[in-house]
């Protein structure tokens, strides 16, 4: 079975990933060749199922990337399946309270630290080629990530960050700005800067790993300056759209120049 070293890599240098929304082997391979450290398979905002997610994890593994699954919900079955299929961790959106985070940790960990159901007949356990230390290794290595993107979670950030077993607190700028009634997602110099800084401070005070979504060079530089190890840069869909937009702009420019010359 393949060792899960993602959490250890987070403790070393910043890890850069991207949301993957398209079930495409070629897309994942391209991300691997490009040098991404990990992917976040997005089951929240897509129609991806767990069978597709398992194939995507396999492809990422072959290209040296870890896989996090953004599960569709915080149910026991969603968390169990994501971890059983071999993902390095789970990322849970729409969290509202510390009690909910404790339940997420409980579902993600084997006894005595949780209540995750046990079998060795799945990919994470090597389909039975399982070392005696499997449960302890999984409890140590599986990364538990939750989003801070609701008013409740933001207002209770200190309680949330204090939950034992939670590894990464992920800042979702778009949802956070909407729920706080802030116009725009500028967390460097805009209205969102204060709330984001308070979340980062809470992470530092409790020893939690902060994570954030970035979409441009300025935000990436901010993430590095703030020593944020878990960085998710845009998505495969956004990269594709940006490339297409660039082609269309070039096409329009050439057509305009050709018209003026003639």
State pLDDT tens for residues 184-208: 899 999 999 999 999 999 999 999 9
pTM over 0.85: yes
- DSSP-derived 3-state class of residue 229: coil
pLDDT greater than 80 at residue 1: no
> Residue 77: which CATH number?
3.20.20.60
- What confidence tens digit (pLDDT) does each residue in 32-73 have? 999 999 999 999 999 999 999 999 999 999 999 999 999 999
- Confirm whether 129 is a catalytic residue: no
The answer to whether position 163 is within a domain reads yes
In a domain, 19, yes or no: yes
Q: Is the pLDDT of residue 261 over 80?
A: no
pLDDT at 4 over 90: no
Residue 76 lies in a domain: yes
Q: Which pairing describes strands 38-42 and 143-148: parallel, antiparallel, or unpaired?
A: unpaired
Quick one: pLDDT at residue 257? 84
Start-end of H helices in the chain:
6-10, 25-34, 50-62, 76-84, 98-108, 134-141, 151-155, 157-161, 173-179, 193-206, 217-225, 236-261
User: Sorting pLDDT into bands at 50, 70 and 90, what band is 2?
Assistant: low
- % of the chain beyond a pLDDT of 70: 99
46: left (phi over 0), alpha (psi -120 to 50) or beta: beta
Catalytic residue among 45, 63, 122, 129: 45
Strand 89-92 to 143-148 pairing: parallel
Q: Residue 261: inside a domain, yes or no? A: no
pLDDT band at 90 (very low <50, low <70, confident <90, very high): very high
| Structural domain count, the chain | 1
**Backbone angles phi and psi of 126, in degrees to 5:** 70, 25
CA dist list (Å): 30 to 33, 70, 237? 5, 21, 13
Whether residue 107 is contained in a domain is answered as yes
In a domain, 56, yes or no: yes
Q: Residue 262: pLDDT above 70?
A: no
Radius of gyration of the chain (CA): 20
Q: Examine residue 117 and state whether it is found in any structural domain, yes or no.
A: yes
Instruction: Decide if 1 is inside a domain.
Output: no
Domain that holds residue 213: 6-235
């Amino acid at each position: 079975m393949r060792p899960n070293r993602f959490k250890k890599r987070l403790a070393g240098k910043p890890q850069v990933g991207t949301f993957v929304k398209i079930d495409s082997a070629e897309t994942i391979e391209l991300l691997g060749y490009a040098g991404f450290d990990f992917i976040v398979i997005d089951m929240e905002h897509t129609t991806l199922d767990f069978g597709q997610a398992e194939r995507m994890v396999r492809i990422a593994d072959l290209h040296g990337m870890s896989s996090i699954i953004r599960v569709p919900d915080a149910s026991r079955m969603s968390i169990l399946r994501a971890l059983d299929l071999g993902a390095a961790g789970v990322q849970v959106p729409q969290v509202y309270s510390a009690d909910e985070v404790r339940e997420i940790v409980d579902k993600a960990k084997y006894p005595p630290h949780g209540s995750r159901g046990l079998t060795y007949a799945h990919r994470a356990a090597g389909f039975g080629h399982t070392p005696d230390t499997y449960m302890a290794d999984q409890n140590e290595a599986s990364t538990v990530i939750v989003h801070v993107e609701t008013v409740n979670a933001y207002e209770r950030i200190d309680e949330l960050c204090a939950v034992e077993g939670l590894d990464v607190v992920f800042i979702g700028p778009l949802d956070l700005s909407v729920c706080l009634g802030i116009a725009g997602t500028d967390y460097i110099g805009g209205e969102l800067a204060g709330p984001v800084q308070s979340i980062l401070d809470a992470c530092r005070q409790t020893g939690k790993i902060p994570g954030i979504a970035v979409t441009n060079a300025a935000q990436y530089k901010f993430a590095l300056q703030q020593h944020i190890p878990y960085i998710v840069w845009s998505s495969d869909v956004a990269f594709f759209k940006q490339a297409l937009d660039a082609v269309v702009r070039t096409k329009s420019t050439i057509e305009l120049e050709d018209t003026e010359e003639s």
